[in-house]
A and B are shown apart, each in its own frame.
Chain A
Amino acid sequence: MLIAVLSTACSADESIRVFVPASARDAVGELAREYQEDTGVQVFVTAESTSLVVRQIQSGAPADVVITADLAWMDELANTVTLQDRALAATNGLAVISKQRLGGWTDAAGVKRLALAGPQVPAGRYARQALEFASVSPNEIVEASNVRDVVRWVRAGEADAGVVYTSDAAQAPELNQIPIPSAAHDPIVYPVARLTDRPHAKAFYEWIIGEHGQTVFGRHGFGQAGKSVPSQAVSLQDAVFRGLWVAILALILSFPFALGFGWWLAQTSFRGKSLVTTLLLTPLVLPPVVTGYALLGLLGRQTPIGRFLSHFGIELSFSSAGAVVAAAVVGFPLFVLACRNAFEAIDPDFYDVGRTLGLSGRQLFQKIALPLAAPGIMGGAVLAFARGLGEFGATVVFVGNAEGATRTIPLAVYTLLESVDGDHDAILLAWVSVGISLACVGLWERTNAWQRSRMEWKRG
């Protein structure tokens, strides 16, 4: 059953995948929706920082079309991946945004706190070039991981001014905006490349660089000043049901392993047992991003295991099936710990009595150990489910953040926080998340009470 669900989840023939920088998300999202309405072909848009987009494709993410925020990253991609076709999708400019009116763009250096994207991000690099070009040095720089955060901080008053793309500034019309002359920095261009020869990949690529695509990019503030277009690239309902479904499948996937290892750890003692336990619990303490990176290195499409699985039509990295695996892996330690503790808590007298009654080892497990440990196992399942539901770091690295494919609740919240007009939906989704989590904790507490009522009478 599980395999069937997993393989249908990852074989989507009539769909294409487009990877774009965060700043191009709204424009490409709009193009994707239009294309979908016209042709019925699903277009999955994954929007990340350019560096992550490139890394993901180099790790085997199945991209049909890719856009980067500068030429250097596209060249870097071309080193490892064959580009079928390549063109310019859009240009962009820089602008200073602020709540207070400023005299000129160089006044940005005079404010108390100036927000910039980090120097490794193209937007941050261009902004620093411009400041250097004008020979001004800011008082205090607050560094954001991407341009969207800069807009957010300026809007919230966390920073007094910020340097962003004109396309992002266009999303925040209530802020004061002063364009920075394009001569002050390297040209900001968004190259687009086509990676596959599939007909719809070609068609969508032409759609982006064609006249209509350019109009849409223009409307989103690329190449020319434009007004904000409200966009809703995140489907809340999809994220909630996808998140629940992924967490449930992850639970089913990890159950036999958690039960087996839990029983084994509770029953046996051998040299090196604590080492084995430590290894099993590693995903609990490892930063989830590292877990995701390890999964990519272990199960990615370029790895031996990944190639082996692909013979059976199973592709884990950058697919919903991979999201299930990521959630299962991070939830597993909680599950196996709960199983082990539940089995260890059983008074060995029960087994001894069972053995004098002639029960075999298998019968002892089925008739005594399993029912007695059931409350603890249930508790572990609830915790692992909640953990899987909240899984973010490993998921975003291993399977990416693709609308309609791998975007679960926390990924959707993150995406909404990154988008300028996403606050309302982010809060809504956050409340859903809080509700589900509280329900899980409540259920877990019930299993504890169940366990206590089982055991409290034990001594006569």
Chain B
Amino acid sequence: MDEGWSVNITVRRGLWTGRFEFECPHRWVVVRGPSGGGKTSLIRALAGVGSHQGRIDIGDKRWTEATPPAQRRVGWCPQDSVLFPHLSVVENLRLAGDLEISTRACQALGVADLLGRMPRSLSGGQRQRVAIARALGAAQGVLLLDEPLSALNADLRDSVLQLLSDETVANRKLHVLLVTHEAAPMNTPHAEISVEDGRLT
């Protein structure tokens, strides 16, 4: 499967066990499900920062539990939009990798004038958009977005989704896994999976 996703992993965290097994012929996977169901655990396992057993095939990439995060180089936008508080916006972007891509994303998301600011002086929505831009700059093939739309109004959600679909399909051929509660209109071909209690339902 050259284009899509084939994931078969087990994640253990203390007594909690999650089994995630899915195939998807498209570049986009949309994950839904109640909070506490294991969505974030799935993302952390894919990013390589939460340990897992099993195999992950995304496009032509093949990762096992032994593949360290530095080799996966996913663009990860965590739920709390974790910007480094001691670095300015532009330093955050530079640390992540391709500054050209991330500044372009900032322009598209209307946060390009914030580059010199420190994260603590940004609103929640501004931080979220910067974090998305940072993830785009960092992604070398795979983009993992954990609730990236939660602090944004409807207009901004649309521009985020528009940017993502432009970047993925037209420009960079990214694979995207998007966790969201929104029933956002998706005009990109995608599969939806639902995660509950550590299982796909």
Contacts and interface: CB of A to CB of B under 8 A. Distances in A.
Task: Tell me whether A and B are bound partners.
Answer: yes
Interface of A: 347, 349-350, 352-353, 355-360, 367-368, 371-372, 374, 453-460
B95 A458 contact: no
B151 interface: yes
A189 B76 CA distance: 84
21 contacts: A347-B82, A350-B82, A352-B44, A352-B49, A353-B78, A356-B48, A356-B49, A356-B69, A356-B72, A356-B73, A357-B95, A357-B97, A357-B138, A360-B70, A372-B84, A454-B85, A457-B85, A458-B80, A459-B80, A460-B80, A460-B124
Interface string B29-61: 000000000000000100111000000000000
A201 to B, nearest CB: 58
Q: Name, among B47, B70, B75, B81, the residue most crowded by chain A CB atoms within 10 Å (CB to CB).
A: B70
Which among A353, A360, A371, A459 has the greatest number of chain B C-beta atoms within 10 A?
A353
Contact of A353 (B76, B86, B127): B76
Interface of B: 44, 47-49, 68-70, 72-76, 78, 80-82, 84-86, 95-97, 119-120, 124, 127-128, 138, 151
B81 A460 contact: yes
Nearest to B147: A460
Nearest to A360: B70
B47 A356 contact: yes
A367 B78 CA distance: 19
B150 to A, nearest CB: 8
A353 B139 CA distance: 12
Nearest to A455: B85
Contact of A372 (B49, B70, B85, B120): B85
Contacts of B138: 356-357
A460 to B, nearest CB: 4
A355 B49 contact: yes
A352 B75 CA distance: 12
Nearest to B124: A460
A357 B44 contact: no
A360 B70 CA distance: 8
Given A352-B49, A456-B120, A460-B127, A357 B96 contact: yes
A454 B86 CA distance: 7
Given A456-B120, A457-B120, A355 B70 contact: yes
Contacts of A357: 73, 95-97, 138
Nearest to A352: B49
Contacts of B75: 356
Contacts of B127: 460
Given A367-B95, A457-B119, A460-B127, A356 B85 contact: no
Given A353-B78, A355-B70, 10 more contacts: A353-B82, A356-B72, A358-B69, A359-B95, A367-B95, A454-B86, A454-B120, A458-B80, A459-B80, A460-B151
A372 B86 contact: yes
A356 B76 contact: yes
Contacts of A368: 84
Contact of A355 (B69, B85, B120): B69
B142 to A, nearest CB: 10
B146 to A, nearest CB: 11
B84 A350 contact: yes
A371 B138 CA distance: 22
A455 B75 CA distance: 24
Contacts of B48: 355-356
Given A353-B76, A356-B72, A357-B97, A458 B85 contact: yes
A360 B71 CA distance: 11
Contact of A356 (B74, B80, B84, B86): B74
Nearest to A454: B85
A358 B73 contact: yes
A396 to B, nearest CB: 42
Contacts of B95: 357, 359, 367
